[in-house]
Amino acid sequence: MDVKLNVVYVPSEGVVARVIEDELIIVPLIAGIGDADDELYTMNETGKAIWLSLDGIKTLKDIAVDLSDKFNASPSIIEQDVIGLIEELTSRKMVVSLS
């Protein structure tokens, strides 16, 4: 599935995510179980910032603009990071598009 910058994405119902001690912890609810032993994800600062920006209102483009300001980085590089992460999360059914 192609990820588009003008689309809004949100965490799927099949995950539980929490920031614990400044670290984003994501537990997918796979096969009817939240498995923190075999299937637990954490993200780096960029990934965490992207995930926490998935508020159901901002498009990926909006998120990339915000983050390029925050991290003082090139918007095109941030857009690539955003698309890459959302592609990965979409393939794992951890995020879904609202469109």
Partner 1 sequence: MPGISFAGLIEEVLEKKVPFRFTASGLSMSPFIRDGDVITIAPSSSYDLKRGDVVAFINPSTNLLTVHRILLFSKSGYLIKGDNTSKPDGQVLASDIIGQVVRVEHSGRNMRFGLGVERNAIAFLSHRGWLTPNIWKVWRVIKPFAEKWIINKRRSIL
Q: Which residues bind partner 1 (CB under 8 A)?
A: 13, 16, 18, 20-21, 25, 27, 29, 32-38
In the bound state with partner 1, the residue whose beta carbon lies nearer, of 36 and 77, is: 36
Query: What are the C-alpha distances in Å from 8 to residues 30, 45, 72, 89?
Result: 24, 21, 23, 14
DSSP state of 68: H
| Alpha-carbon torsion angle 52, 14, 82, 19, nearest 10 | 30
In the bound state with partner 1, the residue whose beta carbon lies nearer, of 10 and 16, is: 16
In the bound state with partner 1, the residue whose beta carbon lies nearer, of 18 and 72, is: 18
The contacts of residue 16 (CB under 8 Å, 6+ apart) are: 26, 27, 29, 34
Least Å from the CB of residue 39 to partner 1: 9
> Is residue 5 a contact partner of residue 97, using CB atoms and an 8 Å limit?
no
In the bound state with partner 1, the residue whose beta carbon lies nearer, of 36 and 57, is: 36
Least Å from the CB of residue 10 to partner 1: 16
Least Å from the CB of residue 16 to partner 1: 5
